[in-house]
Amino acid sequence: MTVPKKLFIKTYGCQMNVYDSERMAEALGGQGYVETTSQDDADMILLNTCHIREKAAEKVYSELGRLRGLKEANPNLKIGVAGCVAQAEGAEIMRRQPLVDLVVGPQSYHRLPELEAKTRLGETALDTDFPEEDKFEKLAARPKAKRGPAAFLTVQEGCDKFCAFCVVPYTRGSEVSRPVERILTEARDLVERGVREITLLGQNVNAYHGAGSDGADWSLARLIWALNDVDGLERIRFTTSHPNDMSDDLIEAHVSCPKLMPYLHLPVQSGSDRILKRMNRSHTAEQYLRLIERLRTARPDMHLSGDFIVGFPEETEQDFQDTLALVEAVQYGSAFSFKYSTRPGTPAAERAQVSEAEKADRLLRLQTLLTHQQRALQNAMVGRDVGVLFERPGRQPGQMVGKSDYMHAVHVQGDSVAPGDLRRVRIVSSSTNSLAGELLD
């Protein structure tokens, strides 16, 4: 009997990397690998990297340095770097860290089996091409193993926006949308395996324009309506969106589509028109606010999330005050905020930089405001009835934890609840990062 090889994948960054890691594990499954939760007994370690966060490449090199001992103890251990840092750094990774056997970019991971085979022959393997073939088409069919109740499904990759701070167009390439039928087939397969909620993923997901079997170019809204008809699928979400691609039919879907949840992540990055222009965002703060008005008129209970960068090159205190004013106007339920950090090769990297002290001070002030808004909106949920899809046991005996329609973490006590159950819950209290509820059915 052949002993399976063990694969450990460490995933950095966004939900798309989580999805990519799943597909890489499936691709290597055909080579006899099974996943392990421990680096110590792995036959291959893959770092699936992200280039968005601060000092992303340095963190990868630090992690590789920590793996040196494992490699010395087990010379047969194969170490690979995948994802956006792999795409950006390429052969430099192998030059700086000779212990690396394999480097593969995010558009080439369907080639992992052949790359892995090269490492077994004692060769190093590097693939950071943007291949013409569709990686999703080349990947083997997903195995029928049981899945948790919520899953990610990539429908679009790449970005054509070229924001001045962002490396995505260089590491993920131009915008490409997957064909409709392949998405629907994968969604049905996920539902057969126990998934009840699917989040559609894309670097610019609402720019989706996939080829339908009818020969038409489908929008994201039309795709959502098709997914709404998939039996057994109960919830649909999508992320991440650009304000300029928030179309009328997508807003209408938030009103009329029963399975599309009232949650939207809509990054703005800054509230200053001057900085938005320098970021190449192609919209103004006023246009963003008018879009929020339209969304909330269409769906008054919409839970909004956003992204913010503070300390962008040349940002003044007045620019930052404009951002605070926009946040006050929108009232976010959640948000992600970061200090600007340079990305080599992007336009903003060459500009006059804001001091680290100013960045830290502004980030603290922004996060204080965002936290206050988040807590206020969470507290306002008390007394409301919501749907909750339960995903896992909580820390206390008899406790189950899930996500509400609005993406809040909700926990209840009840032996009658199991992972995958979608139940009505009345919210009875609010704490820092979660809500407590009572089962209604």
Known binding residues for [4Fe-4S] cluster are 14, 50, 84, 159, 163, 166
Cα–Cα distance list, 95 to 124, 126, 142, 170, 254 (Å): 11, 12, 35, 21, 49
Specify whether the CB–CB gap between 90 and 128 falls below 8 A: yes
Nearest CA-CA partner of 362 in 271, 234, 284: 271
- The Cβ of residue 173 has, within 10 Å, a number of other Cβ atoms equal to 18
Give the whole-angstrom CA distance, residue 205 versus residue 34.
31
Strands 422-430 and 435-439: antiparallel
Q: Residue type for 390, please?
A: F
Give the whole-angstrom CA distance, residue 358 versus residue 95.
36
| DSSP-based three-state secondary structure for 81 | strand
Helices (H) and strands (E) in the chain, counts: 15, 21
Establish whether the linkage from the previous residue to 240 is cis, with ω within 30° of 0: yes
Beta strand segments in 325-366, E? 334-339
Strands 102-104 and 125-127: parallel
Two structure tokens written together for 379: 């507290």
Specify whether the CB–CB gap between 221 and 253 falls below 8 A: yes
Two structure tokens written together for 108: 């080439």
Strands 303-310 and 263-265: parallel
Q: Which residues contact 364 (CB under 8 A, 6 or more apart)?
A: none
Specify whether the CB–CB gap between 69 and 40 falls below 8 A: no
Q: What is the dihedral sign for C-alpha 229, 230, 234, 237?
A: negative
Give the whole-angstrom CA distance, residue 174 versus residue 207.
12
Q: Which residues are annotated as a binding site?
A: 14, 50, 84, 159, 163, 166
Q: Residue type for 154, please?
A: T
